[in-house]
Amino acid sequence: MLDTIDTERKALIAQIIRYAVTGVGVTLVQSAIYWLGVYPLHLAPLVSHCVASAIAVVVGHQVHSRYSFKGHGSGQEPTFLRFVAVALFGIALNALWVWLLTSPLNLPDWTPILAYLLVTPAIVFVFNRTWVFR
């Protein structure tokens, strides 16, 4: 029984590491697309953000389903719409951090970044693991 728990724990830790590496990669792709839209293409920042976010969701789904969560769950359910729902939830959660920490709590403008990096990814990971890629 301890071998099973140890094997499951190792698999979870490996999955979290793959998720983190993949998340950094998708974030870099999104940032590059945003930068290209704003600077060489002269798109409005919000337009560039929307384009970059949409592309990042598609890239993120492909990479997470083939790498981060490979071998997890049955793999027989369509996951894209669930993935988009979780991604939108993550975007909304980050907006909540900005509002909560900078308005009612009147903390410095950089404080939401901590939640972006630590809290939101952890919550999104749980939703992806238990609902999207189950």
Q: Look up the pTM and report it.
A: 0.81
> Residue 112 has what DSSP assignment?
H
Q: What distance in Å separates the CA atoms of residue 102 and residue 98, rounded to the nearest whole number? A: 6
Look at residues 85, 88, 91 and name the one whose alpha carbon lies nearest to residue 112.
91
> How far, CA to CA in Å, does 2 sit from each of 9, 13, 44, 106?
10, 16, 56, 48
Express each pLDDT in 30-71 by its tens digit: 999 989 999 999 988 888 988 999 999 999 999 999 999 987
Task: Answer whether 56's CB lies under 8 Å from 26's CB.
Answer: yes
Torsion sign (Cα): 32, 34, 39, 42: positive
Which tokens in the block code for residue 129? 């693991």
For residue range 65-84, list pLDDT tens digits in order. 999 998 786 666 668 999 99
Q: What pLDDT does residue 1 have?
A: 59
